[in-house]
Amino acid sequence: MKKRLAYILVLFLVAATGRGDTDKKIIGALATVHIEEGGIEMVGRVDTGAKTTSINAINIKASNGFVSYTVVNALGKKARLKSKIEDELLVRNAESKEKRLFVYLTINYMGDSKRSLVNLNDRSGSSYKLLLGRNWLSGSYIVDVDK
């Protein structure tokens, strides 16, 4: 009985303070987003298994702490961008290990903009040109795969 009362009290406090998941938006398995820096729309695959968001980038050229690259969406629309390199890591996937550059991009979903760390990866052979990872989802979204 005490556990049940404690649970009800917690639910009441969360509802009263607005500190529960009520502030989070529900997002489905796919989301059409706008990459603000490039003015380009992309359909992103929500990937709760990916720590970091990954974007389709080609013609990647790094120099003096900056990287210039071309972002390409599924329709072939391109945007040439230049960003400060925030990190460089060895990333493992199912096929191999590879060095990836990380930059900050602003991703807008349904009017909400969120600046997130994104790794640049040639995803031209992949169905989804953007993977929305946990770093972008965290604190803002609840994933509903039925949506």
Q: How far apart are CA 87 and CA 23, in angstroms?
A: 31
Average pLDDT, the chain: 87
Question: pLDDT of 37-50, one tens digit each?
Answer: 999 999 999 999 99
CATH number at residue 97: 2.40.70.10
Range of the domain at 59: 24-143
Q: What's the domain count of the chain?
A: 1
Residue 11 lies in a domain: no
Residue 21 has pLDDT above 90, yes or no: no
pTM of the model: 0.81
What's the confidence (pLDDT) of residue 17?
Answer: 44
Mean pLDDT, rounded, for 130-134 = 97
Mean pLDDT, rounded, for 7-32 = 65
Q: Is the dihedral angle over the CA atoms 123, 142, 51, 86 positive or is it negative?
A: positive
If one compares 52 and 19, the residue with the highest pLDDT of the two is 52
Question: pLDDT of 53-64, one tens digit each?
Answer: 999 999 999 999
**Selection from 137, 107, 103, 139 nearest residue 118 by Cα:** 103
